[in-house]
Structure 1
Amino acid sequence: MDRRSILKAALLGTASLAAPSFSLARTPDGLFELTAGKGQGRLYGDAGGLSELWLYNDRLPGPEIRVKRGERVRVLFKNTLDEPTSVHWHGIRIDNAMDGVAGLTQPPVQPGESFEYDFVAPDAGTYWYHAHTMSWNQVPRGLAGPLIVEDEKPHFPVKRDITLFLSDWRLDDKGLLETASFGAMHDFAHAGRLGNWLTINGQSMPDIPLQQGRWHRLRLINASASRVLDLAPDRFGAQVIGLDGQAFSAPREISGTLQLAPAQRMDLIVRPEKTGTLPFEMMTGKPFTFARFQVTETDSEDLQLTLPPANDLEEPDLSFARELPLVMAGGAMGGMRSLMRDGVSLNPREMMEAGLFWAFNGSAGMEDTPFFTANQGETIVLESRNDTAFPHAIHLHGHHFRVLERNGVKLDHQDWRDTFTTVPEETVKIAFVADNPGKWLLHCHMLGHSASGMMNWFEVS
């Protein structure tokens, strides 16, 4: 769809933004019940038909799960799909057996079967959950939802603590989800499955209600399969207070654009001064509006701002760190002539036949031996180098890390993240304390890249 058709659809009307489906309620015995199944939804608003989707609890996105920091979370998950699946709790420093990575931390949940996830949410912040079995296919069909961990005392009223679940979709000319290209090798070898339409909380061109003179917290989650979103918070007067669930010590005013890659989250605060309409835009060379803030008048101003405190994460000890390289190679225009798979060297023809286009340190995909083994409490420094022609979003399971440097330059803000972006010919250095025992995945969150080789694992003993 071109820009003209998008704007034409926008003029047909907007929906008033609802919460992400609904907040999931517990059963009397304290369980959340979550079911994966087939369903339908309108992705292009009233101008489009009903798309065939895969959904949690028949909702798009999946129901929001809200818990308190330190709270025990029990989720009875049921699979009514025709294929195996599992649930990953993204960004949570979780017990390894509950991480949801089929084939590494648990067997996949077969059709008609169930699995009980039972873990403690140790850190407050904005997180999400999504399918982690053939995620390149299951997530962009709809299997994802928000997971919000609140502080013991909420800092914003419910109506002003707003989750914005951002997803891009590949639609056909009838506004329906295009499914024939799922698993296309061209997507896997290039930038991934990129959509041509954006929704917020499953809605097309929604209105987001704000109150004049009141502080709001906006929790942005990029649930796209491959799309990196360029956003400009200062265009609607917002400041950044956290990334990937980890709160800053003070708000930051960001001039220009800020990237939100697949799987990343961004927490903003905003207090609109005037009533009326503010565009919520993606910056694609020039601003493209994909939602609108509707500011209404209130009786009084909210001058007091209480920010969430930072989580208690163990700082890396760089004086005793072990440094390891992470070299990304492959993809179209990457010039990779061979890679290793299970100890066997594959030439380009064999790589194509196996559907493998990417490699970490010359190896494609999961192998029997880990990328590295760390002692519990050991500081690990990874120096990644992007030798490909495309950006990547690298996610580390079970841990958060400090982003130390880019291209050898120390960063002014060495933020805590669980997913970092890297562009072609860029070197990024991160550091973390390997303090969570188990087998943990390390992969690109451009989901087609992960499926076609950009994935490995490490072990904390």
Structure 2
Amino acid sequence: MTRRQFNMALGATAVTASALPAVGRAETPDALIAQPGLARLAPADYPETRIWGYGGTAPGPVIHVPQGGRLVRRFVNDLPQPATVHWHGIRLAKAMDGVEGLTQAPVEPGADFLYDLTAPDAGTYWYHPHRRSWEQLARGLSGVLIVDEAEGAPEVDRDEPLQISDWRLTQDAQIAEGFDDLHDRAHGGRIGNWITVNGTPDYRGTAHRNERLRLRVVNASSSRIMVLEASGFDGWVVALDGMPLEAVEPLGRIILAPAQRADLIVDVIADQGEDAYLAMLDRDGGYQIAAWSVDESARSERLPAPEALPANPVAALGPLDTARTADLRMEGGAMGSLSGAIMNGQMTSMRDMAAAGRVWAFNGMAQMSETPLIEVARGETVRLAIANDTSWPHAMHLHGHHFRQVLAEGTLGPLRDTLLMDRGATADIAFVADNPGDWLLHCHMLEHAAGGMMTWLRVT
């Protein structure tokens, strides 16, 4: 048995038979190969950019799987460093979650691993590395994962994923090095100077007036918070982080933290000869990132407003007043008050933390702790009180589950897998811990996670 055959066998047996159906011996799963490649990220008068990509492209292929169906991919690592794949937002078996050191060993260069999972929830998800993710994502490793509704899919003329990526490029259109930059870690993360949609800087399509589109918008950046507005469209937000809203909301300004997604159903209302477009807003104003040239009408009048998408099978919360609770306090970063935190079992000064690349802490711990933040039995309702005692926003992502924010007077926010928290903010999130395993909870500003913002919880 070769090393590659051994790794494939190990991956196939890591999930229990009760969690997933058995892999037939005659099946040959599709390969998902992480490898260097070239991408046309900048205009034609610049060189192509050297990237790392799934299949050598950036972004990687859009993967479709039916709701309740199996996703089987033989991940092959043809990169010069170890890697894994995390299937972001999918409520899957622990062994398939792709977190180095917590759910699996990293896949070494030249080796492979069999990912075999089911997709219980329809919606828009994505996949990316979870080993040196702050570097590997910034080099291009990501792709959109769509779980198609088993029934009740909305009536649309077209379904378009829009993966928005943030790149830091040099003057010759190459990816800038310096992935372990301490300034990035201590501030807002690695913010790029170049935006692409589906791998192109000038994403443009065509559309018909009164045509109805489903736009699946994914913030696939390392750290950039994206503020988006649409023009020439009228429509609705129907899902966030893959989970349908209980009632559709009118389309307005959209704020997406890194890793967050929004499903939009929009009607083209721009006149023939005009553009409908999506714009990104920042401190210097707004700029167009995707456009559709509008031609003749698809129909004489608009379709009726859509109904809410079918709910996904997420367990309803139990009583919050008897939920298991834990507190999580974020500390550190530039302009913060953290003077030191625990590293390697002892209190360490901020100076020595910074020398080791750690500038953030959860509950006074600047690295993954040996014990979980909380350990609960399967089926218990959990309530986490999170406080952002820093000068920077953070995007808190929980693996293996979706949660709701507990709002004023006990009302509940929509199901999410990532929560954007502004500096100085507090938030309570609640979820049913119905997925056994060890699950990561971290900031999805990936430089912040690398700098100490990671913890985990255990569901027995």
CA distance in 1, matches of 2:251, 2:65: 30
Query: What residue ranges of structure 2 are gaps of 5+ in the alignment?
Result: 1-25
What are the residue-to-residue correspondences of 1:266-285 with 2, within 5 Å? 266-273=262-269, 274-275=271-272, 276-285=274-283
Structure-2 residue corresponding to 1:428: 427
Query: How far 1:210 moved relative to its partner?
Result: 2.5
The answer to whether the Cα contact below 8 Å between 1:210 and 1:293 also exists between their aligned partners in 2 is yes
Q: Indicate which of 343, 352, 359 corresponds to 1:357.
A: 359
Q: What SS does structure 2 have at the residue aligned with 1:186? A: helix
CA distance in 1, matches of 2:298, 2:266: 18
Structure-1 residue corresponding to 2:413: 414
Cα deviation, 1:28-77, whole Å, max 9, x if unaligned, reads: 93622100011111212224221111010112101011010000111111
Structure-2 residue corresponding to 1:14: none
Structure-2 residue corresponding to 1:145: 143
Q: Indicate which of 181, 186, 200 corresponds to 2:183.
A: 186
Cα deviation, 1:345-380, whole Å, max 9, x if unaligned, reads: 101221112111001111112122111111111111
TM-score, normalised to structure 2, is 0.89
Structure-2 residue corresponding to 1:13: none
User: How many residues are matched?
Assistant: 430
CA distance in 2, matches of 1:177, 1:166: 16
The answer to whether the Cα contact below 8 Å between 2:59 and 2:143 also exists between their aligned partners in 1 is yes
Q: Are 1:437 and 2:436 counterparts? A: yes
- The change in CA–CA distance for 1:299 and 1:389 in structure 2 (over 3 A counts) is closer
- The change in CA–CA distance for 1:136 and 1:434 in structure 2 (over 3 A counts) is same
> In structure 1, what residue type is equivalent to 2:373?
F
Query: How far 1:263 moved relative to its partner?
Result: 0.4
CA distance in 1, matches of 2:246, 2:196: 31
The answer to whether the Cα contact below 8 Å between 1:155 and 1:307 also exists between their aligned partners in 2 is no
The answer to whether the Cα contact below 8 Å between 1:337 and 1:347 also exists between their aligned partners in 2 is yes
> In structure 1, what residue type is equivalent to 2:303?
L
> In structure 2, what residue type is equivalent to 1:265?
R
The answer to whether the Cα contact below 8 Å between 2:218 and 2:260 also exists between their aligned partners in 1 is yes
Structure-1 residue corresponding to 2:198: 201
- The change in CA–CA distance for 1:299 and 1:381 in structure 2 (over 3 A counts) is closer
Structure-1 residue corresponding to 2:254: 258
Cα deviation, 1:5-31, whole Å, max 9, x if unaligned, reads: xxxxxxxxxxxxxxxxxxxxxxx9362
> In structure 2, what residue type is equivalent to 1:428?
A
Structure-1 residue corresponding to 2:393: 391
Query: How far 1:394 moved relative to its partner?
Result: 0.5
Structure-2 residue corresponding to 1:303: 303
Query: How far 1:279 moved relative to its partner?
Result: 2.8
Query: How far 1:244 moved relative to its partner?
Result: 0.2
What are the residue-to-residue correspondences of 1:164-243 with 2, within 5 Å? 164-179=162-177, 181-233=178-230, 236-243=233-240
CA distance in 1, matches of 2:236, 2:145: 22
The answer to whether the Cα contact below 8 Å between 2:367 and 2:453 also exists between their aligned partners in 1 is yes
Q: Are 1:368 and 2:370 counterparts? A: yes
Query: How far 1:335 moved relative to its partner?
Result: 1.9
Query: How far 1:214 moved relative to its partner?
Result: 2.2
CA distance in 2, matches of 1:128, 1:380: 26
Cα deviation, 1:101-159, whole Å, max 9, x if unaligned, reads: 01110000001101000111000000000011010110010010000000124735786
Q: Are 1:321 and 2:317 counterparts? A: no
Query: What residue ranges of structure 1 are gaps of 5+ in the alignment?
Result: 1-27
Structure-2 residue corresponding to 1:346: 348
Structure-1 residue corresponding to 2:404: 402
What are the residue-to-residue correspondences of 1:90-109 with 2, within 5 Å? 90-109=88-107
The answer to whether the Cα contact below 8 Å between 2:152 and 2:310 also exists between their aligned partners in 1 is no
CA distance in 1, matches of 2:173, 2:256: 25
The answer to whether the Cα contact below 8 Å between 1:127 and 1:146 also exists between their aligned partners in 2 is yes
CA distance in 1, matches of 2:223, 2:369: 24
Query: How far 1:92 moved relative to its partner?
Result: 0.2
The answer to whether the Cα contact below 8 Å between 1:332 and 1:389 also exists between their aligned partners in 2 is yes
Calculate percent identity across the aligned residue pairs: 44
The answer to whether the Cα contact below 8 Å between 2:231 and 2:277 also exists between their aligned partners in 1 is no
Structure-1 residue corresponding to 2:159: 161
CA distance in 1, matches of 2:232, 2:415: 25
Query: How far 1:333 moved relative to its partner?
Result: 0.7
Structure-2 residue corresponding to 1:136: 134
Query: How far 1:284 moved relative to its partner?
Result: 1.3
CA RMSD, aligned part only? 2.0
Q: What SS does structure 1 have at the residue aligned with 2:275? A: strand
The answer to whether the Cα contact below 8 Å between 1:65 and 1:148 also exists between their aligned partners in 2 is yes
TM-score, normalised to structure 1, is 0.89
CA distance in 2, matches of 1:205, 1:400: 34
CA distance in 1, matches of 2:95, 2:240: 26
Query: How far 1:428 moved relative to its partner?
Result: 1.1
Structure-2 residue corresponding to 1:9: none
